[in-house]
Every structure is written in structure tokens, then in C-alpha cells.
Structure 1
Amino acid sequence: MTVYDDCHVGHARVLIVFDLIYRWFLNSGYDVQYVRNITDIDDKIINKSNDKGCKFNELTDKYIDSMHEDSKALNVIPPTFEPKATEAIPSMIKMISILVDKGFAYVGKNGDVFFEIAKFKDYGKLSKKNVDDLDAGSRVKIDDNKKSFGDFVLWKLSKENEPSWESPWGKGRPGWHIECSAMSSDILGESFDIHGGGQDLIFPHHENEIAQSESCHDYKMANYWIHNGFVNVDDEKMSKSLGNFFTLKNVLKKYSGEVIRFFVYKSHYRSPLNYSDQNLNDAKAAVEKIYIALRPYNCIQVDLDWSKASLSKIKDALDDDFNSPQAISIIFELINQLNKVTNNDLANEIYSVLKALGLMAIPQDEYFTKSSKIDHDHIEKLIQQRAQAKFQKDYQKADELRNEIDSLGVILEDTVNGTVWRIK
């Protein structure tokens, strides 16, 4: 996360997708170290802090807190480590020094330090881009300070009134790409298992990370790369310029974090995700169906035997590149079974699978009755009056009370265990 503003729907997808992956590894018995880097110094942060007339770290602290609020609303587990770029400056300077000494980096005419992509023979292996095509296809004015169009900055000399740190090349600050390489190698080592992010990071960010990390350490940076797809809004790419940009806080005013998580799970993480009111309303209806199916049961979390026929298909789906849409489809097959016959064990299994995926975050009773606009005591009193009227066989009075309850936005359900209610 680059923390200069509130999270948007695209960030929500990243948070939820990698939370699913984190959860599934943990549920599969793996020992997981999950690092989520925070970029707390870059051009956007500096520009916005200047506009606001505040220190850059006051701005970033505010939006880090905002991100944590959003993560909690989405029931996202905190990562094992959440380093800030500004805490890893010494490691970045050390990496840049090694790259300069090994001939992969150079000081440009303006004093900035650049990585020379021509020196890294495997440049483009992640994005499948050809180095020669980068120069040939560029319409951008060539920067005379560096040797080639594709060379990227590792260290920027600071301008007046900009945050800066001492370095062998003068006071300045790191480039974006070196930040992530330093933070990840500090915590996970020179080579680790999985590196992830949104598809928009494949080039140039992740390509540049590979080039500088592998040139510095002489090790393969990551064994696997996982990238989630873009978020579209009504089939158009989300962007501020198109006016279809949604902050997560605004979306959470209308839909719960539970609904947003389910909405994200309904598409495979690598596929485009189409944000629309209709799709979120569908997700909301599906979540309600789950809660209604489990409501008659006082569900508890149980240890899951993934070898059982009812659960093995869910495991197979999630083991197959975290196929959440397939897993959700199988879960609904089990819910349909539960709707046909009372089965406490099956209810607990469904509940426990959903909990493992970060769903069922809202207590079952609270899901149906939580609302600041509903007077719970008044509803309970009307239900008691209706029960008394039915007992006295005053069915007209009972119907009138039911209609009154209905007018308050409440649905009654008469079950074998008594009358329960939920908000429309």
C-alpha cells in the first residue's frame, strides 16, 4: 500500500485475495510468514503533505490507521510483518551500494542513482517484455540524466523542503522499486516463496524488483508470482478520471465487509472483477441465504476432516490456485442439502468452512437484528403480545401485530423453536 489516501475497491480486492491465500496456507498446516509492505515515502505522499501543510509522516500515519480500519471491517487477518519503507532506508542504501560496486547501477548526470537494465540479462522475464522494444516503442522524451529510457531510479537527490536521508550520493530518498526489495529481503531473506500484488504491478514494479534483487543477491528473488486481476466498474476500468472511483469507506456505508468479501470470492482472483450495485446486491442476497440456512443451529467451530466427501471437493478447489468461486459453489450445494433435512453436524461443518475463509464474521443473531434504527425491546414486546394473542386464539389481533411489526422493517419467522425475527 502507498498510504497517501483512503483505500479504494481495488485495494479491498488485494487485501481480501491475499488474506484468502494466507488463511488457506494456515488451514493447510503451513508455517506462514506474510509480509505486507507499506510505502510511506514517495512523490504522491510528498505532494499531498505539502498541499495539506503537514509533515509527510503525519499524513502517512493517518492513512495507515485508515487502512487498518478498512482491513478490520473486511475481517482481514493482520500480516506477520508490516514494515514501512522509511524504517528500511539503511538496507536500501546497502543494496544500492552493492549494485553500484557490481556495475549494475550508476550515478546519472543529475546525481540520482539509476539501475541499468541492459546489464541484467533476464530483464523482462516476468512481464515477457523485450528490452529493445522498450526504447523503440517509447514516445516519452528521453531523460538525458540516464543512459537508457528503461533505466530506473534507485536513489533520488532531495529537492528543497523534501524529506531526505544521508547517503554516499548525497542527501536524498529511495526510489519506489528498491523500497520493496529491501523490506522483503530484510524479513524473508534473499530468496523466498511467493511475491504478490495487483496485475498493474507486473511491469515495471515487479520486473524492476527482480532485476535489482537478483543482481544484488545472486539468487532467484521469488519462486512464484501471484497477481490479482483488475477491478472494473460496470465493465469499465475504475479510475478517478472516469468518475467511477469508489473508496472502500463509502462502499462500507452501504454493504458490510462480509458482503464485499463474498463479492470478491465470487470471481477467481486472477480474473477481472466487475463492481456494480447489482453484483453487490447479489452477493448480499447470497450472504443472507447462508445466515438464514444456519440460523436454526447454534453453530460452533469444529475440526474439519478435509478427506470427507462433503469437504474434499472444497479442499480440491482451493488447492487448485485458490479457486474461491468453485469452493463457494460447493458450499452452496451443502447449504441446499441442509435446507432439506436437519443436520447439526453438517451445519457446524459449513459454518467452520466459512469461518476458515474469513466469512461468518458477524455473530449469527447480530447479523439479523443489528440496526441503530430498530428498537429491539419494542420488537420483542410486540412478538410477545402476538404470541399471547395467538394463544388466546385472537387471530385478528395476532395478524394486526404482525402487520405492525412488518411496517417497522422486520420479518417474522415462526419456527419449531419459537418465533425469530430479522431486519428486512
Structure 2
Amino acid sequence: SYLLSFLEGSALRLANTVEFDPNNYPVVYRLLTTTYSKPRMLANHYVSQVLNLKLPKNECIDTLKEMIDKLDASVTSLKALKIPNLGDFMLLSLGLRILDSDLRAKFEQKHLGTEFPLYSDLVNFVRNHCLVAKLAGTENSHSNSGQRSVIKDKITPVRSKVLIATNSKEADLPTNAKQNLCPCDGMSHFQMKSCPKFRNANMDSKIGMVKKYRLCWACLGRSHGVASCNSKYGCDSCGSKKHHSYLHRDIQGSGNLSVVDTGQVPAPGLSLSVSGVSLSSREASNGSRTCLLGTARIRIRGAQGEWFYGRAVCDSGSSVNFITSSLANRLGLSKSKCSLQVTGVGHSPPIAVSGQIQTQIAPHFSPEPIQHISLAVVPKITSDLPSAPVSNCFLEQFKSLQLADPDYEKPAPVDILLGIQSFLDSLPTNPAQIKGEPSA
């Protein structure tokens, strides 16, 4: 366990392939050294560390010193490898970052016996690949399988909506293999709302079942999410079409809070947690009243398996997840083409999406749960949230809880927007509530 505590990402997954006990310690250690002691892999790691460094906006002496120490350590380690032509290797590394994973794998396979390929090897490889593709009549794809190409990406059909753009299908919702059976008890009544076990469960259990079986919050159906639900019916209690009547929960509050009309969907003025707890206040530091969206500090995985930190805002009115181009560039993930356009209130000019990335997110305070997510890349999501510092007078009431955004009351940039489906999947089944005050 001591060795495992120093591992993360692909190294940890490799170590876990061996049953770990004291007798197998040499086996695991030898497996790790054999895999990661290759000079080329070490060099790639150090280059990635250098390219992913970025000075925070809130610059101070401590953060500047920490950044320059990391930079110097990576550069010193890179020089210690004594690469024959370090400048050429840097150009090669930058060029390889442009390729998609399939084409890069072919390049590495071709030069498997070369310790440090040259930049000219990469240029010749890509040119030959393009020539072969044209001769074979497949210049729009690497193969007949229709996989994404570096020459022309496959465009996924999409449709847009007023206020927010949306895909034509919920690509991240799995289809149940047994469509004729209820996912809850395996009986043939199919619809969850007809399941006795579901109908007799308490509210927290119902919400847990909806999350577990990835059901639509509006109609309790499968194979789609609430953003693409075609049901014409709303909640019998409040009329909302964002949740089913069985998922309606009332929260009694004071005049400062409206009644929550959803099963864990936030009304204006409430801020719920993402895999943890986040607070909201309606009173700004100058005494004026304001309304805050829920925010969370989360971890997001980069191209090399490393974790980056970002600040997310939870928006139940969006059917798509978004990420700023600045954070997307830091992650180093390849983008797929995306023809979405985002339109705001009042028919404002549409904003073109520069691409789409696939990655994973997790809470800032825990390695679990990990959520797979698709994000559309846009230049900017919103201005700093909150717009002005707010009182942290509620913090004492929630001091026993782990906050998703420890600095919820301080204005700060927003890097990620979590849409309705990812937001609902991230909510705790039993949020903390104090009568007459914000919930967490």
C-alpha cells in the first residue's frame, strides 16, 4: 500500500493488474520499472509537465515561485536524460500533440525500435499517410470504419434550440439491453412508474434509483435524458416538466427562498452540490440582495491522465456541458468537430462552438465518483461568479459538511458549465437543508 500511495493514473492501473500482497511487491516494482524507465516515456512526461504549466490569474509570489520550481525541475530532469538532439525532440513532441490517438499510435508502432525519432520522421510519416489515403480513395478517414481523421473530421448531426444548443441524441446515456423488463425488479411491467417497489420507496430511494438506472427525470423512461424528453405532461404538484410527480419534493422556506419545485433541480436562489456540498447566500456584502447559481471546484482529467482543477457552475437550464477554450487547451485533449451554436436570450448573435472533448470529472476532495462527460468548447462561459463578494454567515451552519466550492462567496472565474443531465447525475441523494436558509 505504501508503493500504491505514490501512484496515480495509468501507473496505478498497471499496478492493480497484479494481486498486491507482500510476496508480489518485487513483481509490481519490476513491472513499473520496465514500463516507465524507458527514456522516451520519461522525456514525454517532462515535456507534458512543462507545456501544461500555467500561472494562475491571482498571481502572487508563492504561486510564482511554485510554478518556476516545477518548471526548473522538469527542465533539469529532461536535460539529465541527455537526449541527442533536445531541440528536435521538442519539435517532435509539439507535432505529435496535433495528431489524434489513432494516427499517433501508428507513428509509434512504425518507430518502435527507435529510441528518439526525429521531427523529420514525423513529417515524412504524415505526408506518406496522406499520399496513401489519396491513392486508396480514403482521404476522409483513416480506414473504412469511419473513424475520425486528421484531414477531415466526422461531423455528428446536431440540432439547435433557442437559449441553448443541444445534440440530437443523448450520446452518453446507455441503452438497457433488456428493454422489455423493469430495471428495478426485472418484471415485465417495463415502466418504472408502474413498478410497486419504486412507487412505495421514499423520496431519497426514488432519486437513487433514477440515478442508478440513468432514467429520464421527467417521464422515468429509458434511453434518453430530460433534455430530449418528448413527454407533454408535467408534475401534478407544481407543473414543472423537468421532473416527474413521483420526484417532487417541497422545501418550506422563508420569504428569501422560493419553494423548490423539482426533485433535486435547483430553483433560482438555491445552490446545490456537485458530489459534495456548495452553499449560496442571497445577501451581498453591501447589503443588497442577489441570486447565486451553485458552483463547485472539480478535478478534470487531461490527455496524459493527469488531473487539473477547474470551477464549474451548475445550470439546470442547459442541455449541454461547456468548457472554456483556455482550460480545454491546458488539458491537451483532441477535439472532435462540432457544429453546435449557442444562442442567448433576445436572439443575441449565436456563438460558434470550436469543438467537443471527451474526458472525466471528479470532486476536488475525493477520487470518487468519476463521471464521464462530453463538453463543448467555447471562448467564455460567463463573467466571474458571484458578481460581488457575499456574506459567509451560513458557513457555520454547514461546518460539518465538505463543501464542493470552499470559496463559494468569493468572485472567481468559471471554467466549466454542467448541463442538466450531468448536474442531476452529480447531486447527492440527501442534501443538507436548514429551514428558512439556503440548502447545501
TM-score normalized by the length of structure 1: 0.19
Q: Which has the higher helix share?
A: 1
Structure with max Cα Rg: 1
